Amino acid sequence: MQNDRLTLAGILCIVRATLSLLLASLVSRLATQAGFGPKLITALLTLIAFLLFAFIFSTFKRLLNERYQFHNTDLAIVGLIGLSGLAALITVGSLFLSTGTATDTMLLKLVYVAFGLLLAGFAMQLMRLGDNLFGFLKPYAILTGMAGVGIASIKLAGVGVILGAIADVILAVIFVKSSGKR
C-alpha cells in the first residue's frame, strides 16, 4: 500500500472527525429549508460525507488486507460502505423526489439501525487482528463499537457521532503511523 494514500487517509480522518458534528447539524437544518439552494448544499454535503467515509474505510480495508493479511472485516467494511451509500441516496432522494416524509424517515432510521449494528459487529471482528496497530487497536475498536450501538439506538445517535469522531482521530493516527512502517 502506498504511503501517500495512508497519509491522505489520515488527513481525511481528521477532516471527517472535525466536520462530522458540523455536517450533521448543518444538513439537518438545511434539509428543512425551502428552495433549491439549501437542498443542493445538503445534497453536496451528504455526498462529501459519503465519499470521505468510503475512501477512509476502503483504505483501512486495504491496509488490513495487504499489511496484516487480515480479511475478517472485509464483508463488514463493504456492507458499511454500502449502507452509508444507501443512507446518502435516501437523504438526497428525499430532498428532490420526496415520496412521503414519514416513509423516508422510517427507511433512513432502518438503514441507521443496520449501519450501527454492523459497525458494532465490525469492531468486534477487528479485535481478532493479530497486531495491536501501534497500541491503538483496542481504543479504536471499543470506541467504534460504542459509536455503532449509539447510532443503532437512534436516541443516542448524537453520542454515537461524537464517539465516531474520536474513533476517526485514532484511525488517523493508525494511518499516519502505518505510512512510516514498511
Cα 113 to Cα 22: distance, rounded to the nearest angstrom: 22
The structural domain count of the chain equals 1
Examine the pLDDT at 102 and tell me if it is beyond 80: no
Predicted local confidence at residue 119, as pLDDT: 98
C-alpha span between 79 and 58 (Å, rounded): 11
Q: What is the model's pLDDT at position 55?
A: 98
Helices 157-180, 137-153: axis angle to 10 degrees equals: 150
Confidence of residue 98 (pLDDT cuts 50, 70, 90): low
pLDDT digit string, tens, across residues 33-88 = 778 888 888 889 889 999 999 999 999 999 999 999 999 999 999 999 999 999 99
Q: Predicted confidence band at 31 (pLDDT cuts at 50, 70, 90)?
A: low
The per-residue pLDDT for range 122-181, each reduced to its tens digit, is: 999 999 999 999 999 999 999 999 999 999 999 999 999 999 999 999 999 999 999 986
- Name the band, by pLDDT with cuts 50, 70 and 90, for residue 29: confident
Domain holding 155, by residue range, is 3-180
C-alpha cell at 130: 493479530
Give the pTM. 0.92
Tell me 181's DSSP state. -
Give the DSSP per-residue string, 58-110.
Answer: HHHHHHHHHHH---TTHHHHHHHHHHHHHHHHHHHHHHHS-S-HHHHHHHHHH
What pLDDT is attached to residue 36? 82
